């Protein structure tokens, strides 16, 4: 699968600890919320990157194994996510969304995470418009439809929901907490 | 630049019960799965990636003038952390050369005994995996039992001793490590013996081990008497050397007993295992010294590196031999088993000659603990 990243780091041919040392350096210059692709050939790097991300608060998205090596995806920790307050009026929880889906209601799920996060697992038929692109791509959405906005933890989706309602989208609901707690069906990008 | 320590130096420290302080900088999941144990080892874990910005977090836990051996997966990260520790004022820091990968391959020869007619018996302890192999020599000839994949070690040892390896034996078809048996026999032009019942699917020629067919090592009376002892595998065979040493393979260990499930026939083999442990072995002399093919617990490694026990003592202390009720026994060895060894199916197929993974792949297949035992 091809996954979009904001930055690509080549750590191929390097043995431990260099893939992590380089990733650590590269992620400093990355914007919060952006995604880095780390290319590596050291098999031990997968477990290390995942454990390192967990200890630093960055978000490990996943690893794609290809013939010529590994591609790890990490998203830099962002302040937005630690904000912890929701301002958009209409909020539902994951169970509510699951019931809607089970009832075959015609709903639009808007996933505002980064494409790489989306690629490693999203609700089937969800539309992906990252928060940062929402202003430019808003016209892809229909103002009259029921739109459920989701992200990883409920904060980016809150910002997106507010932005949409300001622009006259009246049927927008924020789904909380988000994909990190979603236990329903997920689909991976092929 | 911090100094390095070889696996041999570390092994000596451990088997001699010297005070050994290890800082393992692999990630915690790997550390919890498998680490350096035994002797007088004190070990702490702090992943290297948590130390790149400063080693203060472990500064409190470790004495700056104490000898500290830093260990990682392959030796790269430990070197970097050892340097950082030196910069932070630590004075006696080493990085283990080759890391856990090299540690997994290290074989430490430990003398068990002089034999009656002038020969010697050695145990090769694979400290990183808990595998034990044996080297019997007498009058210019040698037999190697359950050799590991690193066959050069036995070949060099034979050269140093001035003896020729004539016989190579496997007590059973191994599932936790790749046997060096066939290759060692090829290299030394010796014979390779396997229990025929474990060898029904092998793709190469071998000499069948059969009860009553003694194998002579040298001209003296060092006889290896195969004792059919099924249970861990259907063909498992034990050897009695010099009427004094019982090589139990994976049937009986110092503190535990063999698991019968690694070929998928736990239910079928549990009866054989019971029969071997509670009747066949019981009829043997209590004075025999049991020498297993594995150890699981650090305490099993005695001072000097020996892993052994008097058979009579095992019947008093080994919890796996104290289960009177047959149903309780069945339950113990078929339920709540530890996880199966890494890649055990591929290892079995390699040992049958069905697949031939490249060298690096073989190393990888063997990484991790052996997990061949059931604790009573």
Q: Is residue B98 domain-shared with residue B111, that is, in the same domain?
A: no
Which pLDDT score is estimated for B39? 87
- The pLDDT score that the predictor gives to residue B267 is 80
Same domain, A97 and A177: yes
For residue A83, give Cα distances in angstroms to A80, A154, A172.
5, 10, 21
Out of A16, A43, A51, whose CB is closest to B77?
Answer: A16
A190 domain-assigned: no
How far B360 CA lies from chain A's nearest CA (Å)?
Answer: 12
Distance, in angstroms, between B27 CA and closest chain A CA?
6
Could you tell me which of A86, A85, A27, A16 has the C-alpha nearest to residue A57? A27
In a domain, B372, yes or no: no
d(CA B183, CA B152) in angstroms, rounded, equals 10
Same domain, A65 and A97: no
CB contacts of A52 in chain B (<8 Å) are 27, 47, 49
Distance CA B367, CA B376 (A): 26
Asked if the structure places residue A71 within a domain, the reply is yes
- What pLDDT, on a 0 to 100 scale, did the predictor assign at position B376? 46
A146-178 pLDDT, tens per residue?
999 999 999 999 999 999 999 999 999 999 999
For chain A, the C-alpha Rg in angstroms (whole number) is 18
The answer to whether residues A66 and A102 belong to one domain is no
Same domain, A99 and A175: yes
> Considering Cα of A109, then A110, then A116, then A117, what sign does the dihedral take?
negative
| Per-residue pLDDT reduced to its tens digit, B326-371 | 999 998 888 877 777 778 889 999 999 999 999 988 988 887 666 6
Is there a single domain that holds both residue B53 and residue B142? Answer: no
Residue B373 lies in a domain: no
Q: Which domain holds residue A101?
A: 91-181
Strand, helix or coil for residue A71: strand
Determine the pLDDT at residue B33: 86
CATH code at A48? Answer: 3.30.110.40
Calculate the alpha carbon distances from B119 to A75, A108, B170, B218 in Å: 64, 82, 21, 9
Confidence of residue A31 (pLDDT cuts 50, 70, 90): very high
Do residue A119 and residue A161 come from a single domain? yes
Interface contact A48, partner B, CB < 8 A: yes
- B129 and B213 belong to one structural domain: yes
Residue % of chain A over a pLDDT of 70? 95
A95 in the same domain as A71: no
Contact B48 A55 (CB under 8 A): no
For chain B, say whether A16 makes contact (Cβ under 8 Å): yes
Determine the longest span between alpha carbons in chain A, in angstroms: 54
Domain count, chain A: 2
Mean per-residue pLDDT of chain A = 91
Which pLDDT belongs to residue A189? 78
B334 C-beta neighbours (distance < 10 Å), count: 16
pLDDT, position B372: 57
Same domain, B170 and B299: yes
- SS3 assignment for chain B: CCEEECHHHHHHHHHCCCEEEEEECCCHHHHHHCCCCCCEEEEEECCHHHCCCCCHHHHCCCCCCCCEEEECCCCHHHHHHHHHHHHCCCCCEEEECCHHHHHHHCCEEEEEEECCCCCEEEEEEECCCCEEEEEEEECCEEEEECCCCCCHHHHHHHHHHCCEEEEEECCCCCCCCCCCHHHHHHHHCCEEEECHHHCCCCCCCCEECCCCCCEECCCCCCEEEEEECCCCCCCCEEEEECCCEEEEECCECCCCEECCCCCCCHHHHHHHHHHHHHHHHHHCCCCCEEEECECCCHHHCCHHHCCCEEHHHHHHHCHHHCCCCHHHHHHHHHCCCCCCCCCHHHHHHHHHCCCCCCHHHHHHHHCCCCCCEECC
Calpha distance B191→A187 (Å, rounded): 56
Q: Return the percentage of chain B with pLDDT > 70, whole number.
A: 96
- CATH number of the domain encompassing residue B179: 3.60.15.10
CA distance to A75, A93, A99, A127, A152, per residue, from A96 (Å): 28, 5, 5, 19, 17
| Last residue in a domain, options B71, B103, B135 | B103
A76's enclosing H/E stretch is: none
Domain contains A81: no
Q: Which residue has the higher pLDDT, B237 or B219?
A: B237
- The per-residue pLDDT for A157 is 94
Q: Are residues B208 and B351 in the same domain?
A: yes
Residue A186 lies in a domain: no
Does any domain span residue A189?
no
Asked, for residue A145, whether it belongs to a domain, the answer is yes
CA–CA separation, A55 and B50 (whole Å): 8
Calculate the alpha carbon distances from B185 to B106, B195, B350, B353 in Å. Answer: 21, 16, 16, 14
Same domain, B19 and B166: no
Residue at B371 is within a domain: no
For residues B179 and B195, the answer to whether their CB atoms sit within 8 Å is no
Task: Evaluate whether residue B168 is within a structural domain.
Answer: yes
Phi, psi of B209, deg, nearest 5:
-85, 125
Kindly state whether residues B91 and B130 are assigned to the same domain.
no
Does A37 fall in a domain?
Answer: yes
Which residues of chain B does A47 touch, with a Cβ-Cβ cutoff of 8 Å?
27, 29-30
- Whether A66 and A28 share a structural domain: yes
Q: Are residues A57 and A100 in the same domain?
A: no
Q: Rounded to an integer, what distance in angstroms lies between the CA atom of residue B146 and that of residue B289?
A: 17
Q: Which long-range contacts (CB under 8 A, 24 or more apart) does B212-215 make?
A: B215/B143, B215/B167, B215/B169
B310 by Cβ neighbours in 10 Å (0-12 / 13-18 / 19+) ranks as middle
Pair (B293, B362) in one structural domain: yes
The residue from B39, B68, B103 where one domain ends is B103
Q: In angstroms, rounded to a whole number, what is the distance separating the alpha carbons of residues B122 and B25?
A: 34
The CATH number that applies at residue B12 is 3.40.250.10
Residues A103 and A176 in one domain: yes
Pair A59, A98 in one domain? no
Q: Do B47 and A47 touch (CB under 8 A)?
A: no
Residue in this structure with the two tokens 């190579």, named with its chain if needed: B168
Token pair of B178, please? 């790749």
Range of the domain at B30: 3-103
Q: Are B176 and B303 in a shared domain? A: yes
C-beta separation of B160 from B175 below 8 A: no
Give whole-number Cα distances, B228 to A46, B197, B338, in Å.
Answer: 45, 10, 26
Any catalytic annotation for residue A151?
Answer: no
Task: Note the pLDDT tens digit of each residue in B116-137.
Answer: 888 999 999 999 888 999 999 9
Last residue of a domain, one of A18, A51, A75: A75
Residue bearing the bigger pLDDT, B84 or B336: B84
Predicted confidence (pLDDT) per residue in B228-275, tens digit? 888 888 899 999 999 999 999 999 999 999 888 777 777 888 888 999
CATH number of the domain at A122, please: 3.40.250.10
The answer on pLDDT for A1 being more than 80 is no
Question: Nearest 5 degrees, angle CA B169-CA B174-CA B180?
Answer: 50
**pLDDT > 60? residue A30:** yes
- Residue A176 in tokens: 């909380």
Distance CA A102, CA A95 (A): 10
Instruction: Classify the phi-psi angles of B342: left when phi > 0, otherwise alpha if psi is within -120 to 50, otherwise beta.
Output: beta
Q: Which residues pair with B309 in a beta bridge?
A: B290
> Closest Cα of chain B to A51: distance in Å?
7
* Residue A142 belongs to a domain: yes
**Same domain (yes/no): A95, A63:** no
Backbone angles phi, psi at A104, to 5 degrees: 55, 30
Give CA–CA dist B235/B290, Å, rounded: 19
Q: Within this chain, do residues A110 and A28 fall inside the same structural domain, yes or no?
A: no
How many domains does chain B fold into? 2
Boundary-marking domain end, from B57, B74, B103: B103
Q: Would you say B258 and B296 are in contact if contact means Cβ atoms under 8 Å apart?
A: no
Question: Which chain B residues are within 8 Å of A22, Cβ to Cβ?
Answer: none
Q: Enumerate the residues of chain B whose CB falls inside 8 A of the CB of residue A44.
A: 73-74
- Does residue B210 register a pLDDT over 90? no
Q: What is the mean pLDDT of chain B?
A: 90
Give the other-Cβ count within 10 Å of A124's Cβ: 10
The confidence band for B220, taking pLDDT boundaries of 50, 70 and 90, is low
């Amino acid at each position: 699968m091809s996954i979009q990243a904001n930055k690509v780091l080549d750590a191929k041919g390097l043995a431990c600890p260099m893939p992590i040392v380089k990733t650590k350096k590269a992620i400093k210059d990355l914007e919060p919320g952006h995604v880095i692709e780390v290319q590596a050939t050291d098999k031990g790097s997968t477990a290390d990157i995942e454990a390192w991300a967990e200890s630093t608060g960055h978000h490990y998205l996943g690893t794609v194994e290809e013939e010529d090596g590994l591609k790890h995806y990490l998203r830099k920790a962002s302040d937005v996510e630690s904000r912890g307050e929701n301002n958009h009026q209409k909020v539902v929880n994951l169970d509510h969304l699951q019931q809607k889906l089970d009832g075959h209601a015609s709903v639009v799920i808007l996933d505002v995470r980064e494409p790489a996060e989306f690629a490693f697992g999203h609700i089937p038929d969800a539309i992906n418009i990252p928060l940062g692109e929402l202003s430019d791509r808003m016209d892809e959405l229909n103002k009259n439809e029921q739109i459920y906005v989701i992200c990883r933890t409920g904060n980016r989706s809150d910002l997106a929901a507010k932005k949409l309602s300001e622009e006259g989208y009246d049927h927008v609901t924020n789904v909380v907490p988000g994909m990190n707690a979603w236990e329903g069906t997920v689909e991976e990008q092929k | 630049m911090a100094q390095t320590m070889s696996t041999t130096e570390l092994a000596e420290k451990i088997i001699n019960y010297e005070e050994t302080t290890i800082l393992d900088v692999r990630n915690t999941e790997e550390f919890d799965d498998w680490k350096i144990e035994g002797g007088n080892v004190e070990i702490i874990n702090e992943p290297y990636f948590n130390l790149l910005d400063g080693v203060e977090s472990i500064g409190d836990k470790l004495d700056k003038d104490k000898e500290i051996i830093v260990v990682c997966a392959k030796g790269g990260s430990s070197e970097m952390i050892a340097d950082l520790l030196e910069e932070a004022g630590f004075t006696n820091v080493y990085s283990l050369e080759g890391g856990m990968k090299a540690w997994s391959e290290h074989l430490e020869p430990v003398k068990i005994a002089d034999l009656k007619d002038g020969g010697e018996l050695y145990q090769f302890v694979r400290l990183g995996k808990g595998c034990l192999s044996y080297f019997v020599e007498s009058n210019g000839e040698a037999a190697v039992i359950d050799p590991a994949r690193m066959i050069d070690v036995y070949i060099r040892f034979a050269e140093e001793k001035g003896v020729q390896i004539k016989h190579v034996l496997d007590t059973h078809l191994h599932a936790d490590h790749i046997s060096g048996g066939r290759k060692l026999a090829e290299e030394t032009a010796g014979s390779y013996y396997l229990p025929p019942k474990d060898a029904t699917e092998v793709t190469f020629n071998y000499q069948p081990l059969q009860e009553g067919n003694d194998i002579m090592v040298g001209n003296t009376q060092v006889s290896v008497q195969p004792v059919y002892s099924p249970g861990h595998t259907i063909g498992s065979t034990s050897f009695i050397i010099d009427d004094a040493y019982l090589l139990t393979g994976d049937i009986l260990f110092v503190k535990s007993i063999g698991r019968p499930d690694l070929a998928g026939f736990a239910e079928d083999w549990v009866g054989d295992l019971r029969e071997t442990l509670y009747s066949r072995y019981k009829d043997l002399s209590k004075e025999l010294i049991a020498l297993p093919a594995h150890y699981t617990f650090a305490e099993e490694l005695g001072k000097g590196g020996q892993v052994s026990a008097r058979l009579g003592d095992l019947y008093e202390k080994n919890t796996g031999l104290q289960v009177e009720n047959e149903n309780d026994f069945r339950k113990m060895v078929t339920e709540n088993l530890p996880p199966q060894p890494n890649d055990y199916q591929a290892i079995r197929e390699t040992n049958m000659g069905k697949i031939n993974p490249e060298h690096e792949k073989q190393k990888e297949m063997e990484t991790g603990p052996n997990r061949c035992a059931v604790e009573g």
